[in-house]
Structure 1
Amino acid sequence: MAFIIVELKSRTPLLELRVLGSIDFSAGIIVQWVAQFGLYGALFLLPQFLQQARGFGAFDTGLTLLPQAIASGLIMPIAGILFDKIGVRWLVVCGLTLVSGALYQYSHVDLTTESKDVILPLIMCGAGMGMMMMPMNTHLLNKAPRHLVNRVTSLTNSMQQVITSLAVSTLVTILSSRATARGIEMKEAAAASGAAANTSPEALKQASQMVLTKGFDDTFHIMMFVAIGGALLGLLLRKGRKSEQESSSAKVHSEIMHG
């Protein structure tokens, strides 16, 4: 609270919080935070699942994730062209819809999941990321007050770091709690059925991997709803200022010519 007060009173603040006085900018940055949170559910969790539950090595995991990077790189230039034509709203909505679809498919992974099984959701996640991230940043610059636009990048970058850290810590917490809950359910089910516990090292390892996989499934499912929420919030975004600026410039030019 003290930091906010000091920043608002300073002529040259470390973070220009006055820019949040713009309703369009504030709405945009909230959507960006929710989108980033949901996106990290896909970007951060899947490599963890592949290495921890499926036993992939670092190289194999990176190779498996390659379609995601390729899809993102291919979609980014197209998203830039579409942003100039239709604005940011439908790019964010479509992008987060793709991410939520990818998370839904991730929520069905199990101990038999192979690299080929996640190619489609990886492409969907990469395409969704490429479709919305750069247009969202451009939208925030367009919506910032003109006299504060040179201070926007430092604010958005610093807040993105905070949201990223918060997303990772929250995801780890959710994953741990869901894996613990699944482990308790499995023990209770075994006790209720009267099945004899198999305490061999191989059986214990398989049970541990199964519990962890169920925890990943639940966490992916939760993140899917976060991404859907971000897509719904994206409907509140309004088109960028480009058309307004162009119409204003045309009006001034017309007045000069006819003056």
Structure 2
Amino acid sequence: MQAQAVNLKKVRKMPILISLLLSGFIGMFSETALNVALSDLMKVLNITPSTAQWLTTVYLLTLGILVPISGLLIQRFTTRQLFIASLSFSIIGTFIAAMAPSFGFLLVARVVQAMGTALLLPLMFNTILVLFPPEKRGAAMGMIGLVIMVAPATGPTIAGLLIENLSWHWIFWLSLPFLVIALIFGILFMQNITKVTKPAIDWFSIVLSSIGFGGVVYGFSSAGEADGWNSVKVWIALVLGVAGLALFVWRQLTMKQPLMDLRAFKYPMFVVGLLMVFICMMVILSSMLILPLYLQNGQGYSAFKAGLVLLPGGLVNGLMSPLMGRLFDKFGPKWLVIPGLALTAAALWMFSDINAASTVAFIIVLHSLLMIGISMVFMPAQTNGINQLPQELYPHGTAIMNTLQQVAGAIGTALAVSILTSGTKSYLSGVKNPQDPVQALAGFTHGVQNAFIFAMALAIAGFVLGFFLKRVSIRHPQSGPMH
């Protein structure tokens, strides 16, 4: 990464961007679309909720293990090699899922799909960092934001429609041709934009990283299952994960060529940006789990109707991302992030009062406000943070950001589920007849309200952190003509 492999003036940026964004969109779509199909899969495949949950857990787990080594892969392989490998894994995984006759096949398919996503996400961020100078990065990152947010927004709605009219297999059949088109487009237009430096592979670091990040993600993901925090496997996984991470950090700090260069943490705006992204991911993923649950179990909506209710907010978020990117380039992060977190906290506070009398219009407006708030925070904080890093730390910075997003997702969903469960239990323990359906619904609603209060507390912590944000105005020396 010390030198560019090509003159960046000769690189055609648009075709590269389209290849990455199309494949990123389909990867994110199939990840979230399957969540809506889980209840349908339980009936068709005759599996329990905790077994079905593995389809999400194993995906997160694979990302948690592979994303930390992406910095090494970006330095060892060319952009084209990584892109083609990523799309190949995604296509094979999607094809296995589309053909899957049983739960076992579907689980294997999810692992292969996640391998593709684990290669693609860091590659997408790193490519944008190399192709675009700091003053134009906000708009480019905004395009990624558009993809990352619109795909999960449309996923549940389209999946609901497919499940009602065809079968869950069609979620994958629909994705397959788009992935093939993205691969062909990438083969034709993708160029190598970084120099391969072939750093040494430290296998001990890879093992420690896999145990550390894998253990934490698995532990928190498993806490969302039936036994929750009382499960022995949750605590074994978390203890192993924390021990693995401690050894991993020690190992990286004592190596000349670390697997994940932790010098990135010396840059204060990178750390603030990282914490912002961590909080945002916890808020987004806990809300996106709790709200559909409430709409289906609390309001009695079908999967399709629940998806439709959440669609406007997701689309608003996606469409706001490029605008926020351009505003970030012009004004910097502070005047977007602080109002964004205030809006997020206000929306979550109002969500904490949600009940059976809440109208569809009220939920759509609140969800849209929440998503506008998140769009004002996520990309500006992330881009500002990475802008402070010197160029040789780009692969490591993106690896750290993407890894901690997976960890934040696992922690956010696990805590939201356990707060929802404990809130429901505590309410029902104080009523005369817990079996009464009216009381059961009231208990569930109480649990949902508690989960939104938890998300609001996170947003308030982020709001306070926002006052420490400063615009990064560093110009890194480029060996390619980037400015």
TM-score in terms of structure 2 length? 0.46
The within-5 A match list for 1:165-176 is 165-176=410-421
Which sits farther off after the overlay, 73-82 or 58-67? Answer: 73-82
State the Cα deviation string for residues 15-67 of structure 1 (Å, max 9, x = none).
Answer: 22221122221222122222322333433211111112222111011000011
- Aligned-partner Cα distance in 1 for 2:280–2:434: 44
Give the 3 Å change call, closer, same or farther, for CA 198–118 of structure 1 in structure 2: closer
1:41-60 pair list within 5 angstroms: 41-60=286-305
Cα distance in 2 for partners of 1:177, 1:146 equals 46
- Pick from 71, 77, 80: which aligns with 2:316? 71
Q: Deviations over 1:88-113 (max 9, x none)?
A: 12212122222112111211111233
Instruction: Say if 2:341 and 2:463, in contact at 8 Å, map to a contact too.
Output: yes
1:214 paired to 2:446? yes
Q: Distance in 2 between the 1:179 and 1:198 partners?
A: 10
Q: Is the 8 A contact 1:35 1:96 kept in 2?
A: no
- List runs of 5+ in structure 1 lacking aligned partners: 191-196, 250-259
Match of 2:273 in 1: 28
Q: 2:461 is matched with which residue?
A: 229
Residues 182-216 of structure 1: CA deviation (Å, up to 9, x unaligned): 1123x2xx4xxxxxx596xxxx2221111100111
1:135 aligns with 2:135: no
1:238 aligns with 2:470: yes
> Aligned pair 1:3/2:282, yes or no?
no
Asked whether the 8 Å contact 2:269–2:384 carries over to 1, the reply is no
Deviation of residue 226 (structure 1)?
Answer: 1.6
Which structure ranks higher in relative contact order (CA pairs < 8 Å, sequence separation ≥ 6)?
1
Between the aligned partners of 1:86 and 1:40, the Cα distance in structure 2 is 28
Is there any run of 5+ residues in structure 2 with no aligned partner, and where? Answer: 1-245, 479-483
Taking the aligned partners of 1:95 and 1:36, their CA distance within structure 2 comes to: 14
Q: How many residues align?
A: 233
d(CA) in 2 for partners of 1:36 and 1:234? 16
Aligned pairs for 1:105-116 (under 5 A) are: 105-116=350-361
> Are 1:179 and 2:424 an aligned pair?
yes
TM-score, normalised by the number of residues in structure 1:
0.82
Distance 1:107 1:91 in 2: 24
Query: What is the letter of the counterpart of residue 107 of structure 1?
Result: S
Tell me, yes or no, if the aligned pair for 1:103 and 1:224 is still in contact at 8 Å.
Answer: yes
Q: C-alpha separation between the residues in 2 aligned to 1:47 and 1:19?
A: 37
- Selected match of 1:122 from 361, 367, 382: 367
Q: Does the residue aligned with 1:245 lie in a helix, a strand or coil?
A: coil
Q: Structure 2 CA distance, aligned partners of 1:5 and 1:127?
A: 40
C-alpha distance 10-198 of structure 1, shift in aligned 2 (>3 A): closer
CA contact (8 A) 1:101 1:121 kept: no
Shift in alpha-carbon separation, 1:212–1:164, aligned structure 2, 3 A: same
Q: Is the 8 A contact 2:338 2:463 kept in 1?
A: yes
Could you tell me which of 39, 57, 61 is aligned with 2:284?
39
Instruction: Return the alpha-carbon distance in structure 1 between the equivalents of residues 397 and 454 of structure 2.
Output: 31
Q: Look at both structures and tell me which one has the larger radius of gyration over its CA atoms.
A: 1
Q: Spell out, residue by residue over 1:138-173, the C-alpha distance to the aligned partner (whole angstroms, 9 max, x if none).
A: 112112234312321111101110111011111111
Partner of 2:5: none
C-alpha displacement at 1:222, in angstroms?
A: 2.5
Look up the equivalent residue of 1:209 and give its one-letter code.
Answer: L
Q: Distance in 1 between matches of 2:350 and 2:386?
A: 34
AA of the residue aligned to 1:89:
K
Q: Which runs of 4+ in 1 moved over 6 A?
A: none
